[in-house]
Chain A
Amino acid sequence: MTILSQTALQEIDEIRQNYPTARAALLPALYVAQREFGWLSPEAYAAVSDLLGVPPAIARGVGTFYAMYKNKPMGRHVVQLCTNVSCMILGAEKLVDFLKNKYGLEPGGTTVDNRFSLVIMECIGACGTAPAMLVNDDFYENLTEKYIEEILGKYQ
């Protein structure tokens, strides 16, 4: 009895074959589970640990260590905005305020309509074209308030 889809189960099985130990396969396997639900719920951890034969406490330890695993429910689209040095200098903090005022989107929070979640992230290597952000897996740079509005419009 697992909550993972057939595709996910298969994918994790394949991942497992590529690693010498079950623990080594934990990181990519957790990604698969996160993709299924948008975040890693206790049930998701249990499912992955059961599948790989890794104790669940260990899986949760790993999943809570890395920032790119989400340990609470996320909105339909996850906005990850960089506020590290370059982005900050070029106005990322104003963009944070903009998101708050325009969409009611607080750092670490989710909009009431569950459309967006905002995660403040560290450098994504786009200092030359700062400020930069990710929406889900899509990358955007040279952000302005207007540009953000235009981008977010694409994500319903």
Chain B
Amino acid sequence: MDVAKQGAARVGDDPLNGIDMAEAGSVTVDTHEAHGHEAHHEQSFWSKYVFSTDHKMIAMQYMFTGIVMALIGGYMSYAFRMQLAFPGESVPGYGLVSQGEYNALVTNHGTIMIFWVAMPMLIAAFGNFLIPLMIGADDMVFPRINRLSYQIFFISAVVLIASFFVPGGGFGGAWTAYPPLSANAQYNLTPLGATFWIVAVALEFVAFLLGGINFITTLMNSRAPGMKMYDIPMVLWMIVIASILFMASVGPLIAGAVMLFMDQVIGTGFFDPNRGGDPILWQHLFWFFGHPEVYVVLLPAMGIVADVICTFARKKLFNYKLILFTVFATGIISFFVWAHHQFVAGIDPRMANVFTVTTLIISIPIAEMLFLYIATLYGGSIQLTTPMLWALAFIAEFLIGGVTGIFLGASGADIYFHDTYFVLAHFHYTFFPIAIIGFYAGITYWFPKMFGKMMNEALGKIHFWGTIIAFNCIFIPLFILGAAGQHRRIYNFQNFPDLAGLQDMRVFATMALIVMLAFQVVFLVNFVMSLIKGKPAGKNPWKANTLEWTAESPPPHGNWPEGLPNCYRGPYEYSVPGREEDYWPQNAPPDTAPAE
């Protein structure tokens, strides 16, 4: 312990240590660095799996919590889709869905899938796992804050689940929680559920603020010697930019959450126009965060896809810098579009014009990124492995989501489409590729690194085709239903003669949902089977360049116990002419044969 402390103190004395090492250049193994580690000793179950400060273990905690929450969210969608397909009948495995329960299920399905699935799995799990490994560091810069971040996140999940079991049941005012419905128990009939909901969401924000500070600082300060700005793998850029967007946009909503909480609990009137408040203010506070949030979850998925397609097309990322600047542009523009969610909420029509223009503008950088990805694929030697299939599916499916967004961004068309199933299908075509396809692309790609075993390709492909086909079968009918005028948030369409005739399509979509959920069992089986008896992966099964593939699989505590790697080139040097190997690891010193 004393030795370790001295080592740390010595390193800590020189804040410019990293820079000095960068100048030293050829030093791969810096001996005094290795002393900085804790001596390897047997850890108890609790300190190894529950209270660990190791970034990989925290990533696993986030990922498994996310998977559990995804299963809960999926189960909710099953219950309320069954109610829509077979109104009033008892749902197998759930029972009768009452009107209040229906609202609570829809609300919490949305909340869970955004805040407790997309964010922990894409940003927190991959961010925690990849950032230190990809920049050649031994851990995050603040391991204990990292642990605290997960603990707060875990508590927030518990609070959200608990909201279903309090008197009055779970909150049912939609995931956007518009007042006065959310602010007043007289209207929402869930005095405790609504408060639990807002507390859970606020805690989740705190967890991601702590995590985000860690991600940003780690990437900014702790890169391997020699890793310059343009040598950072795209996925890290995107995760960190997403964290910055989150941090910059969430503030007003935290303030709004405090105000809503006080409206609920103390009886203030922040959002009550009869007492000098304004309900529209909440919508602005919410969507000022809510729209950048779309890009907060989109960017990490985009980054995962970038890394996967480069590896499996064996080609350099097409115009790295242009993609990066496009991401910057997306991030900036994403702050100027929020009120397109409020075109029918009674905002000033002149503002609607402004926000229509900015909303249509933001489709340009996104389309540009997709084109750049396709350009990366062009002329590559493409290997259709499971992660590559997911990455390609992301591009195709997200395109549909993006194109249907044009209708909604134009304020005129939005007046008709607003709050119909068209909107619902649109954002599922964006969020499903982001949260689910993006996650599967990432997990199938990095599974060998995380667990040291290969996943089964055959099961992976069965899972892929089953999920993708079923997904389209769910939501294409919903586009048609929405265009026919089917409103969201309706418990039983049989009460509406104009819409009752479209029941067949609702049943079809619900059946497709059940098929899709069933195919997720294939993934879980594949996951567990591969863990138990998958082929050993070795260090670099995909022959990829980035630094995480130079560590052991799975990486030990400290990631590179023999000394942290240096970086000599960009992350996407595939098929470089004149080289025997078609890849060129970032840590291989120049003008020598590839390492190992």
Physical interaction between A and B: no
